[in-house]
């Protein structure tokens, strides 16, 4: 039997087990979606390394374990980020803990709806609802379908028109199950016209449980839709246990005059696949994607970005800086498409990597496809080691070699970290980095 068939056969059993526990909710919108997505998944092959976008990802390591669905769990504890005042939304094993959602979020004007409910609102004026249906019916990617088939009911976060949220929203994502298991967080964020919000997605350990020993896979999907003149700042911080992997997909759609900035920081976990897709549907938008990461052991961090410039006068920036050490590997594949109508596009992309061991590996692939003639596009990639002269300088002042190396690593990542919003989170990441030197 082929590997793919074995995987589908196993997933089929998991799916049937999930259905057997629906307790009368069969036939609901969500169940229909689950079923349709699983059927689509059956005929969609999981990618392998022959697939160009998956060449540098040991995808077997992701899909071969026989995952079961992570059990619903109410007990959790996530270490607070000192001095961070945020609206918290806990997501444990793929379940949004609605009781745990900060009540102040509602009084601040933000509407949180379970997907089940959001999808039933089918008035044609309801942009969010239409958008949900479109997104869910058009996906053809295996991991997205896997999420749609197995998710346990995501949420829709609506930021109403012209609301500027005073505090960031902190979505806390934990996977905690003693058995080999996967979970599928799913959320949609809709920033209405003129609204402003900062969203932190924090993939963390459950500090009340011992570090997980069984393989875990978090297969998360985040959709962000920015209406006219909306501003969203997004930070993804990932410090998962060593046994857990993350397949993360962020899909962004931007309308006229909107501004989207995303920062990703990966330190923990095993295999991390970070996909960001940005659709620039209208003109005069601003997009910035940045990431800083430190891979060690046999970690594999893979960043895939795709920015689709469809309309004129849009600007996009990408800065990805990573440190790859020990036997770890990294990949950056940055695609920028500039369509014929997208004149006056300004797109800039940079990927810098420090490779610190002879067993470490980095693959960097910028990919610009330009079909318009009046545009400014550039890309660059560098791969290097720690600067010997700088190391000597620090040691010649009495700093021990280990600390000297750490200072230079932190300095390398500082360019991205210093740009990120939310100071308490920046400080938290800095202190976390200090432990990992």
Partner 1 sequence: MKPLIKITDLHVSIDGKPILNGLNLTVNKGEVHAIMGPNGSGKSTLANVLAGREEYTIESGTVEYEGEDLLSMDIDKRALAGIFLAFQYPVEIPGVSNSNFLKSIINAKRKHQGLPELNALEMLKFIRAKLNAIEMDESLLKRSLNDGFSGGEKKRNEILQMTLLEPKLAILDETDSGLDIDALRIVAEGVNQLRSPERSFIVVTHYQRLLNHIIPDFVHVLSNGKILATGDRTLAEKLEVEGYDWIKESNSVTA
Residues 43-82 close enough to bind partner 1 by CB under 8 A: none
Give the Cα separation of 252 and 306 in Å (integer). 10
Toward partner 1, which CB reaches closer, 130 or 395? Answer: 395
List the x/- string, 415-434, binding to partner 1 by CB under 8 A.
x--x----------------
Gyration radius (Cα) of the chain, Å: 21
User: Parallel, antiparallel, or unpaired for β 87-92 and 95-96?
Assistant: antiparallel
Among 81, 149, 404, 433, binds partner 1 (CB under 8 A): 404
Number of Cβ atoms within 10 Å of the Cβ of 337 = 18
Among 39, 400, 423, 431, binds partner 1 (CB under 8 A): 400
435 contributes a contact to partner 1 by CB under 8 A: no
399 contributes a contact to partner 1 by CB under 8 A: yes
397 contributes a contact to partner 1 by CB under 8 A: yes
Minimum gap (Å) between residue 408 Cβ and partner 1? 7
Minimum gap (Å) between residue 403 Cβ and partner 1? 7
Question: Are 156 and 112 a contacting pair, CB within 8 Å?
Answer: yes
Q: Phi first, then psi: what are they for 140, rounded to 5°? A: -130, 15
Among 60, 77, 382, 390, binds partner 1 (CB under 8 A): 390
Among 99, 374, 398, 435, binds partner 1 (CB under 8 A): 398
Nearest to 90 by CA among 7, 191, 173: 173
Toward partner 1, which CB reaches closer, 19 or 436? Answer: 436
Q: Site for partner 1 (CB under 8 A): how many residues?
A: 25
Kindly report the CA angle at 138 between 133 and 143, in degrees rounded to 5? 105
Number of Cβ atoms within 10 Å of the Cβ of 363 = 16
Give the Cα separation of 234 and 218 in Å (integer). 19
180 contributes a contact to partner 1 by CB under 8 A: no
Minimum gap (Å) between residue 321 Cβ and partner 1? 10
Give the Cα separation of 391 and 410 in Å (integer). 13
387 contributes a contact to partner 1 by CB under 8 A: yes
Among 408, 422, 425, 433, binds partner 1 (CB under 8 A): 408
Minimum gap (Å) between residue 265 Cβ and partner 1? 15
- Using the structure block, give the residue that is written with the tokens 């939304």: 89
Question: Are 40 and 143 a contacting pair, CB within 8 Å?
Answer: no
Residues 259-318 close enough to bind partner 1 by CB under 8 A: none
Among 51, 210, 393, 431, binds partner 1 (CB under 8 A): 393
- Beta bridge mates, 245: 217
The residue range among 38-46, 79-87, 175-183, 401-409 that interacts with partner 1, by the rule CB under 8 A, is 401-409
Question: Are 199 and 233 a contacting pair, CB within 8 Å?
Answer: yes
The residue range among 48-56, 220-228, 312-320, 389-397 that interacts with partner 1, by the rule CB under 8 A, is 389-397
User: Parallel, antiparallel, or unpaired for β 216-226 and 95-96?
Assistant: unpaired
Minimum gap (Å) between residue 380 Cβ and partner 1? 17
Can you read off the two tokens belonging to residue 336?
């920028």
378 contributes a contact to partner 1 by CB under 8 A: no
Give the Cα separation of 162 and 166 in Å (integer). 12
27 contributes a contact to partner 1 by CB under 8 A: no
344 contributes a contact to partner 1 by CB under 8 A: no
410 contributes a contact to partner 1 by CB under 8 A: yes
Strands (E), 55-213: 68-69, 87-92, 95-96, 111-114, 155-159, 169-174, 181-183, 186-191, 196-204
414 contributes a contact to partner 1 by CB under 8 A: yes
412 contributes a contact to partner 1 by CB under 8 A: yes
Can you read off the two tokens belonging to residue 412?
């390398």
Q: Phi first, then psi: what are they for 308, rounded to 5°? A: -110, 100
Toward partner 1, which CB reaches closer, 124 or 398? Answer: 398
Minimum gap (Å) between residue 341 Cβ and partner 1? 39
What are the respective helix, strand and coil percentages of the chain, to the nearest 5?
Answer: 25, 35, 40
Toward partner 1, which CB reaches closer, 277 or 415? Answer: 415
Interacting residues toward partner 1 by CB under 8 A: 387-390, 392-401, 403-404, 407-408, 410-415, 418
């Amino acid at each position: 039997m082929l590997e793919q068939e074995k995987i589908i056969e196993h997933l089929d059993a998991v799916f049937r087990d999930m259905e057997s526990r629906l307790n009368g909710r069969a036939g609901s919108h969500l169940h229909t979606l689950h079923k349709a997505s699983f059927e689509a998944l059956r005929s969609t092959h999981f990618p392998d390394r022959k697939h160009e976008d998956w060449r540098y990802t040991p995808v077997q390591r992701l899909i071969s374990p026989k995952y079961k669905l992570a059990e619903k769990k109410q007990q959790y504890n996530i270490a607070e980020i000192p001095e961070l005042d945020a609206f918290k939304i806990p997501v444990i094993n793929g379940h949004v803990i609605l009781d745990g959602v900060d009540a102040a979020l509602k009084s601040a004007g933000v509407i949180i709806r379970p997907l089940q409910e959001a999808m039933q609102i089918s008035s044609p004026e309801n942009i969010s609802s239409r958008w949900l249906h479109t997104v869910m019916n058009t996906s053809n990617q295996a991991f997205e379908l896997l999420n749609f088939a197995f998710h346990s009911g995501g949420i829709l976060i609506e930021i109403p028109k012209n609301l500027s949220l005073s505090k960031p929203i902190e979505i806390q994502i934990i996977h905690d199950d003693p058995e080999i298991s996967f979970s599928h967080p799913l959320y949609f964020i809709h920033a209405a016209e003129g609204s402003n919000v900062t969203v932190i997605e924090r993939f963390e350990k459950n500090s009340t449980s011992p570090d997980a020993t069984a393989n875990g896979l978090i297969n998360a999907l985040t959709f962000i839709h920015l209406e006219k003149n909306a501003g969203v700042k997004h930070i993804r911080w990932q410090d998962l246990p060593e046994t857990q992997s993350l397949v993360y997909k962020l899909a962004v759609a931007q309308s006229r005059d909107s501004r989207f900035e995303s920062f990703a920081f990966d330190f923990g976990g095993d295999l991390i696949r970070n996909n960001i897709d940005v659709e620039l549907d209208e003109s005069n938008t601003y997009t910035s994607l940045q990431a800083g990461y430190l891979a060690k052991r046999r970690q594999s961090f893979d960043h895939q970005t795709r920015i689709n410039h469809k309309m004129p006068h849009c600007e996009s920036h990408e800065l990805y800086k990573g440190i790859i050490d020990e036997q770890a590997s990294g990949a950056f594949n940055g695609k920028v498409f500039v369509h014929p109508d997208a004149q006056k596009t300004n797109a800039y992309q940079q990927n810098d990597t420090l490779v610190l061991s002879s067993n470490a590996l980095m693959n960097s692939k910028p990919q610009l496809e330009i079909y318009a003639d009046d545009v400014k596009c550039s890309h660059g990639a560098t791969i290097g080691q720690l600067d010997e002269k700088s190391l000597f300088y620090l040691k010649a002042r009495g700093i021990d070699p280990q600390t000297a190396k750490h200072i230079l690593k932190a300095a390398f990542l500082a360019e991205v970290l210093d740009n990120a919003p939310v100071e308490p989170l920046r400080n938290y990441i800095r202190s976390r980095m200090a432990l990992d030197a």
